[in-house]
Amino acid sequence: MPKVIIGLVGLPGAGKTTAATFLEREFGAGRHAFGDLVREEATKRNIPHTREALVALGAELSGSGSNEDPLARAMRERVEADPARLVVTEGFRFIRQVNALVDLPGFRLVAICANAELRWMRCLGRAEKPDERQMTFAQFRAWEESPTERGILLLMGMAAYNVQNDGVPLEGFHQSLRAAMRQLEIAPVSA
């Protein structure tokens, strides 16, 4: 079976990392995140891992204002080098990032969808970035208007599959992901 590459796209707190972790565990997926590439570079440059700093660095690394996207090129290299039969990428922000992978055989874009209030609550709970802990709903909505977040809705509209993650128990979300994998004819590693 040829390699299948799942590109997960969704607004902050939708459940992309939860989905990627599940696909890694249950389907043996290789896993790569644009955010990891940004955080790795931030660490190398001694840049704090705050939302604001990472947004700015992500825009810089994505070649903001040009057709060249060094971040997308680095992701493509990692995906191509991954020996797994299923590879999951997450955290797409710009159309050029999708374009860097879309020509790879087996690439499928999957949108993870959830309502804004639930996504905000998840971000507060996970506190992935230090400044997320006290973020108000208004600040969260403003964050979604930052340069690195604006294109996500467009990308979600391009997705071949949509998986809803609106407050169902986690097992319900997992069932939805299993259904999407069945449509792609991908079996769990235990099968």
The predicted model scores a pTM of 0.87
Cα dihedral 148, 39, 160, 144 in deg (nearest 10): -30
Please state, for a pLDDT cut of 90, what percent of the chain lies above it.
52
Q: Give pLDDT tens digits for 4-19.
A: 999 999 998 999 999 9
Q: Give pLDDT tens digits for 104-137.
A: 999 999 999 999 999 998 888 876 666 677 888 9
Distance between CA atoms of 41 and 124, rounded to whole angstroms? Answer: 25
How do the domains of the chain map onto residue ranges?
4-183
Distance between CA atoms of 92 and 106, rounded to whole angstroms? Answer: 17
Give alpha helix (H) positions in the chain.
16-27, 34-44, 51-61, 70-81, 95-102, 116-126, 137-143, 152-157, 170-183
Among the residue ranges 97-101, 154-158, 163-167, the one predicted with the least confidence is 163-167
**The residue to which tokens 């006290």 are assigned:** 134
What homologous superfamily is domain 4-183 in, according to CATH?
P-loop containing nucleotide triphosphate hydrolases (3.40.50.300)
Q: Give pLDDT tens digits for 60-91.
A: 887 765 566 888 899 999 999 999 999 999 98
Task: Find out whether 28 and 84 touch, Cβ atoms under 8 Å.
Answer: yes
Integer CA distances (angstroms), 122 to 8, 91, 112, 126, in order: 18, 16, 14, 6
